[in-house]
Structures are given as C-alpha cells and as structure tokens.
Amino acid sequence: MSASRDFPDRVGGRLCLDFVNTVDPRQVGRGRDYLVSYGDVLDWFEMVDVRLPRSISWLRKRAKSATDEAFGAHRQAVAMREAAFALLNSSRVSGEVRPSDVAKLNDALGESIGHRVLAAAQRGGVREEWRTADALTQVLWPVAIDTWDLLTEPELGLVRQCPPDAGGCGWLFLDTSRAGNRRWCDMRTCGNRAKVRAHYSRTARR
Ligand SMILES: [Zn+2]
C-alpha cells in the first residue's frame, strides 16, 4: 500500500493537528475515519515522515506477526487521537477538559518521554534521539510530545477550528496569517463551500 494514499490534506501546521484531522468531518457520528487499522496508522506516519526508534517497514513486518499487539496499538492510537483533539479544542479557548483525556495523553507521553534521550552529535553538541524500542505504539510518541508541547506553548492561542456550525469540517489548524483571521481549514474546500452556500441563500431571497 502506498503511503501517499488518499489521506486528508495536511492543513494543520503542526504534526499533532494534522494527526487529529484524520477524521473528516469532525461532527459526531458523521466523520470518515482514515485510521481504521494499524496498517493505516503506519501509512499515515510514513506519509508525514517522522523519526521513530524503528523504521516503518520494520514496524509493518512486526505487526504482521504480532497481530494482537497491532490491534491494541491501533486502539490506543485512536483513543489518543480523540483525547488530543478534545484537549486541544477545549484548551485553545480555555475550556474545561476531561480528566480521562488528560490521562490518555499522559499514558502515551510517559512511554515516549521514557525513550527520548540526548546523544553526542557528530559535529559537536548534542542531538535528540530515540532509545531502541520494539513497541508498536512508538508511532504515537512524536505526536504525543508535539501535543504536550502545543498545549503548553503560547502557540496554542493560534489554534482555530474550521467552524462546524458554519458548515466547516471541524478540523484544527494553526492560524499563522498576518491578520490572524484565517477562518477555514482551506479556502478551496470548506471556505469555498461556505461561499457557494452564502451565494445561494442570497439569490434565493431575491
Ligand atoms: Zn474545514
């Protein structure tokens, strides 16, 4: 399966936002989930090209022989994604968060931080790398750390949601526009649909 399959466009501007945007749209019970198996999760992380303790092809091979572990890793990926979405979406407006979501993110974080180390870089100084690990859940480690970072950085104030109540998809993205007024995940999709709807409702009233 190729890694460039029909995954949603990466419009989030951060790894963790693109990860939570793998459900489209984000309205309850209506969205298409792009990560329905561990294989999908691997394909997605292969597309975004993050550094992991093991290569994606190594993990793919291991998942074939460790099917129960792969099943569990997929379940954990979805649970962490949904917790990350809820936390980011509430926290961006200083809303209340569910302790169960915090706990789910903390589980993934504990695993990932335990495997993050500093090593001497060839050109001097240090660089970050991963301790060797075989766990199939390791694909979640970079995204868990990125979620933690964003939740505790001032950049959290730039996170917006493509407005579900105005026909948007509910995705989260970083508004880095100079005017700080980006409304849609993408003008070509949600922005355009809203424009067309506005046009029809105007002409219908005439
Ligand atoms: Zn949208």
Give me ligand 1 centre to Cα 191, in Å.
7
Q: DSSP state, 34? A: S
Give me ligand 1 centre to Cα 192, in Å.
10
Is 186 a member of any domain?
Answer: no
In tens, the pLDDT along 88-101 reads: 999 999 999 999 99
Per-residue pLDDT, 1: 45
Give me ligand 1 centre to Cα 109, in Å.
28
Please check the confidence at residue 2 and state whether its pLDDT lies above 50: no
What domain range includes position 115? Answer: 15-157
Per-residue CA distances from 150 to 15, 28, 108, 202 (Å): 10, 24, 15, 40
Is 202 a member of any domain?
Answer: no
Per-residue pLDDT, 4: 54
Give me ligand 1 centre to Cα 174, in Å.
13
Backbone angles phi and psi of 23, in degrees to 5? -120, 130
Query: What are residue 24's DSSP bridge partners?
Result: 32
Give me ligand 1 centre to Cα 169, in Å.
4
Give me ligand 1 centre to Cα 162, in Å.
5
Is 170 a member of any domain?
Answer: no
Is 198 a member of any domain?
Answer: no
Neighbours of 25 (CB within 10 A): 17
Residue pair 127/109 in contact (Cβ under 8 Å)? The answer is no
> The tokens 């099917």 sit on which residue?
67
Query: Structurally, how many domains does the chain consist of?
Result: 1
Tell which residue, 73, 102, 74, 106, has the closest CA to residue 88.
102
Give me ligand 1 centre to Cα 186, in Å.
6
Give me ligand 1 centre to Cα 113, in Å.
32
Give me ligand 1 centre to Cα 60, in Å.
31
Give me ligand 1 centre to Cα 32, in Å.
14
Give me ligand 1 centre to Cα 98, in Å.
25
Is 2 a member of any domain?
Answer: no
Is 167 a member of any domain?
Answer: no
In tens, the pLDDT along 169-185 reads: 999 999 999 999 999 99
What contacts 71, CB < 8 A, 6 or more positions away? 38
pTM of this structure = 0.90
Please check the confidence at residue 3 and state whether its pLDDT lies above 60: no
